[in-house]
Structure 1
Amino acid sequence: MLEIRNLHAAYGKAEVLNGVDISAAPGEVVCLIGRNGVGKSSTMKSIVRDQIAVTGGEILFEGSPLTGLRPHEVIRRGVGYVPEDRRVFASLSVLENLRVPRPVAAQDRRRWSVDEVFALFPQLHDYRHRKAGVMSGGEQQMLSIARALLTCPKLLLLDEPHEGLAPKIAEEVVDAILALKREGVSMIVSEQALNTIRRCADRVHVIDRGATVWAGTVDGFYADPEITRKYLMVQ
């Protein structure tokens, strides 16, 4: 579904990615892991062209290059994106936020309705008339995921989905990821929490200093504690 080969990317003249390789198959959950600042978010942004310049390598989605497309064109191709900073429309209600995505008339897409995302996140239904700007960080995260689903994605990108959330709310977000996995939603999740990786991932790609340094199954990842020590623990 997604193939990233030798990806290089930069903010202005500052190169931040210098050899990222990632693949994701249909129905698979792939976790990108690594310490803060190693290039996980930049990889996500490169896929959807979010304020970053791709300077080398390939990004192929269903065999077609995404290079040169504008962000909304990537989304229309079937890539849903939930950025780390959520980016809800603060002055709009939950319902108004969910009405922003344009429907995609594609026969090969899983179509999500507002009622279905309310079933996934019941809190959003309870707060459907509340302004997004007064909601908690966890509620805004749920809203951002729900809004991305309404773009009818074939692949969903989740960048640090429970960063900064209270433990209870973070667990609810993980439960939602598992529910989407059961639905067969393909996902790439930027993550550091070992519990989330263990529960959600099929495969793991470790990023360090802007490059992929390890890739394999989640079982292979946990079979080698040196990977965790070297690339996740604070040194």
Structure 2
Amino acid sequence: MTAMLSISNLHASYGKAEALHGIDLTVETGEVVCLIGRNGVGKSSTMKSIVRDQITVTGGEVVFDGASLAGLRPYEVVRRGVGYVPEDRRVFASLSVLENLRVPRPVSAGDRRNWNVEQVFELFPQLYDYRHRKAGVMSGGEQQMLSIARSLITCPKLLLLDEPHEGLAPKIAEEVVTAIAALKREGVSMVISEQALNTIRRCADRVYVVDRGMTVWNGTVDGFYADPEIARKYLMVS
């Protein structure tokens, strides 16, 4: 069976500064993959390389749904069915929650899972309560929920979540993880850039460890937890 996403020997750079030196990764349909590692090792750069967001791919190949993403612009990658929730969220501060959710261009879902505004409000009830509130006055956690919800409106086949609860209060972070677990139950394929062991345990099917711009380990979640040295070496936790 062909993987939904296949990344082979990916190299990428910001100007003359090379950020990725050989990333390999696959995601099967319905699978949740966690991309883990310390800050600055290339997790976010990998996400950006998939959607061609502010980074230049200099080598290797990214194939999504059987077709290369080479040469595409970010909006074209999204139209192909890749949803992207960046670490900085990028909500429109001057628009209300409802207006933010109406920004994505309507797509023909085809064989994709169809998401509409009512359905994302079911996933994030707090957003419904704040639907007329300007995004700029919302908390970081509420903006994260909005960013995920807005991405779902594009009816993605694959959802990329970059550090989804970075900097959030513990209670809000737990709500975000609960929503991610609910998306997994819905069969949404995801790549999650992550450092929190709780998220990995609850949500991931497989794990890729990134260090110095390269994938240095991959395996099942059970395999990851069976070897505590992996977390100690690459996440600096015990």
Q: Report the TM-score, using the length of structure 2 for normalisation.
A: 0.98
> SS where residue 120 of structure 2 aligns?
helix
How far the C-alpha of 1:187 sits from its partner, in A, is 0.2
Residue of structure 1 aligned with 2:144, choices 141, 157, 181: 141
**Residue of structure 2 in register with 1:96 after alignment:** 99
Residue of structure 2 aligned with 1:68, choices 68, 71, 82: 71
How far the C-alpha of 1:106 sits from its partner, in A, is 3.6
Residue 77 of structure 1 pairs with residue 59 of structure 2: no
**Residue of structure 1 in register with 2:17 after alignment:** 14
How far the C-alpha of 1:43 sits from its partner, in A, is 0.2
Runs (5+) with no aligned partner, structure 1: none
Q: Deviations over 1:8-35 (max 9, x none)?
A: 0000000000000010000000000000
Runs (5+) with no aligned partner, structure 2: none
Q: Deviations over 1:26-64 (max 9, x none)?
A: 000000000000000000000000000000000000111
* CA distance in 2: counterparts of 1:105 and 1:83, whole angstroms: 24
* CA distance in 1: counterparts of 2:48 and 2:115, whole angstroms: 24
* CA distance in 1: counterparts of 2:191 and 2:6, whole angstroms: 12
**Residue of structure 2 in register with 1:157 after alignment:** 160
1:200-211 equivalences in 2 (<5 Å): 200-211=203-214
Q: 1:3 corresponds to which letter in structure 2?
A: S
* CA distance in 2: counterparts of 1:25 and 1:155, whole angstroms: 10
Residue 56 of structure 1 pairs with residue 59 of structure 2: yes
How many residue pairs get aligned? The number is: 235
> SS where residue 221 of structure 1 aligns?
helix
How far the C-alpha of 1:109 sits from its partner, in A, is 1.1
* CA distance in 1: counterparts of 2:57 and 2:204, whole angstroms: 27
* CA distance in 2: counterparts of 1:106 and 1:116, whole angstroms: 14
Residue of structure 2 aligned with 1:25, choices 28, 39, 58: 28
Residue of structure 1 aligned with 2:173, choices 145, 170, 175: 170
Q: Report the TM-score, using the length of structure 1 for normalisation.
A: 0.99
> SS where residue 76 of structure 1 aligns?
helix
Runs of 4+ in 1 over 4 A off after TM superposition: none
> SS where residue 231 of structure 1 aligns?
helix
> SS where residue 209 of structure 2 aligns?
strand
RMSD after superposition: 1.0
How far the C-alpha of 1:107 sits from its partner, in A, is 1.6
The sequence identity of aligned pairs, in percent, is 83
> SS where residue 175 of structure 1 aligns?
helix
Q: 2:6 corresponds to which letter in structure 1?
A: E
